[in-house]
């Protein structure tokens, strides 16, 4: 960290350290550029202001994988708006770096979730330029795109879809002074815009934080743990020692990659059928089942296949394969879906 920032609450930041090295520029001689983060923000209405839910008499009352409580979490009401932040960056900075910089120096109200910071925990999945991915592995250089204006609402609340009357043109200047000012060099290297929104398919809690509990509930219901009969190992003296769960390398290879799933929800966010999990238990839950079905030590294969042989299980998968494209752990989710569907059908 450099010199303390001279900041006004939620306003413009004039941070002298940025010209010589800020949080993520320190020690670098790379030329700075600027990027504008266009963030879809959401603040839920306080609980006390929400009308009591009477519910529809035709609503599905329960689902083995979601249920009324999951549905009730959906569609929270509150204030939605788009906010832009312009800040100096290097191309290799991650989008998470940018959000942390904004939160620490410009706007402490901006909400997002992260934990490990390097692609291991799966807590920071969002939609970047409409594509579900992790904030901590997405670099500014890869995701910045030429600026497009935010459609402005007219007097009647409709948004212009063309450029007529839109005075913002391709200007990326942040409204309301949400910018980290920097030197003239950085201003002359505009990398463009990065659009951020919460992970699709899940209810939004606040700003970029989606409620992934429906996905975790679905995974949990499919018993994501090994059910195996261990072999009692004996010591050289013939005494009973510990249970062993033996496996050959080629047996391990059948599910090892699947065990890398970090339940980030990126595949669910990309799946056009998932959308909240009422109609489809989702690819992450099926990957979890597949991991144990392919594990030679697991003794509950029939039970597991029964559990996904339902209308909202494998039958709901439409083989769109959008889930395959962006798995941060390199799992070919669509191919695994295909394999588990075939396994269920050939029983």
Q: Which is nearer to ligand FES, 15 or 124 (CB)?
A: 124
Window contacting ligand SF4 (CB under 6 A); options: 87-95, 149-157, 224-232, 322-330: 322-330
**Residue 119 contact among ligand SF4, ligand FES, none, beta carbon within 5 to 8 Å by kind:** ligand FES
108 DSSP assignment: T
Q: Which is nearer to ligand SF4, 261 or 307 (CB)?
A: 261
Residue 329 touching ligand SF4 (CB under 6 A): yes
Who's near 293: CB < 8 A, 6+ residues apart?
301, 304, 305, 340, 343
Residue 137, judged by CB atoms within 10 A of its CB (0-12, 13-18, 19+), counts as middle
Q: Which is nearer to ligand SF4, 88 or 334 (CB)?
A: 334
Binding mask 276-305 for ligand SF4 (x = CB under 6 A): -------xx--x------------------
State which of residues 209, 327, 340, 341 lies at the interface with ligand SF4 (CB under 6 A).
327
Q: Which of residues 33-62 bind ligand FES (CB under 6 A)?
A: none
State which of residues 89, 134, 222, 333 lies at the interface with ligand FES (CB under 6 A).
134
State which of residues 31, 116, 233, 320 lies at the interface with ligand FES (CB under 6 A).
116
CB 127 within 8 A of CB 149: no
CB 307 within 8 A of CB 222: yes
How far are the Cα atoms of 61, 148, 261, 296, 336 from residue 255, in angstroms, in the given order?
A: 36, 44, 11, 9, 10
Residue 114 touching ligand FES (CB under 6 A): yes
Residue 264 touching ligand SF4 (CB under 6 A): yes
SS3 call for 79: strand
Give the residue carrying structure tokens 């395959």: 324
* Exposure class string for 9-43: b at 16+ Cβ within 10 A, else e: eeeebebebbbeebbbbeeeeeebbbbbbbbbbbe
Q: Which is nearer to ligand SF4, 22 or 328 (CB)?
A: 328
The pair of structure tokens assigned to 245 is 């769960």
Give the residue carrying structure tokens 């709901």: 316
Given the rule CB under 6 A, which residues bind ligand SF4? Answer: 122, 261-267, 283-284, 287, 327-329, 331, 333
Given the rule CB under 6 A, which residues bind ligand FES? Answer: 114-117, 119-124, 134, 136
């Amino acid at each position: 960290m450099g010199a303390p920032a001279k900041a006004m609450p939620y306003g413009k930041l004039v941070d002298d350290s940025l010209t010589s090295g800020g949080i993520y520029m320190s020690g670098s001689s790379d030329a700075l550029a600027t990027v504008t983060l266009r963030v879809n923000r959401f603040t839920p209405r306080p609980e006390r202001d929400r009308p009591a839910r009477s519910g529809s008499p035709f609503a599905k009352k329960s689902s083995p994988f979601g249920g009324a409580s999951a549905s009730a979490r959906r569609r929270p009401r509150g204030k939605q708006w788009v906010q832009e932040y312009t800040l100096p960056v290097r191309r290799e900075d991650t989008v998470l770096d940018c959000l942390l910089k904004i939160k620490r120096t410009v706007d402490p109200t901006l909400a997002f979730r992260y934990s490990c910071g390097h692609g291991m925990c799966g807590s920071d999945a969002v939609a970047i330029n409409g594509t579900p991915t992790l904030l901590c592995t997405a670099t500014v250089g890869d995701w910045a795109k030429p600026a497009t204006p935010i459609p402005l609402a007219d007097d009647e609340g409709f948004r212009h879809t063309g450029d007529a009357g839109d005075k913002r043109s391709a200007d990326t200047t942040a409204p309301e002074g949400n910018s980290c000012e920097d030197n003239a060099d950085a201003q002359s290297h505009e990398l463009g815009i990065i659009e951020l929104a919460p992970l699709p398919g899940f209810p939004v809690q606040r700003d970029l934080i989606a409620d992934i509990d429906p996905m975790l509930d679905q995974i949990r219901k499919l018993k994501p743990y090994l059910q195996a009969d261990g072999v009692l190992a004996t010591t050289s003296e013939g005494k009973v020692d510990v249970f062993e769960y033996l496996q050959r390398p080629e047996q391990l290879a059948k599910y090892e990659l699947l065990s890398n799933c970090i339940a980030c929800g990126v595949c669910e966010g990309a799946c056009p059928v998932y959308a909240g999990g009422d109609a489809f238990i989702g690819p992450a839950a099926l990957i979890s089942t597949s991991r144990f079905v392919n594990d030679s030590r697991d003794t509950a294969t029939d039970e597991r296949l029964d559990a996904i042989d339902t209308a909202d299980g494998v039958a709901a998968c439409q083989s769109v394969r959008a889930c395959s494209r962006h798995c941060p752990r390199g799992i070919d989710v669509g191919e695994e879906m295909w394999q588990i569907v075939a396994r269920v059908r050939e029983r």
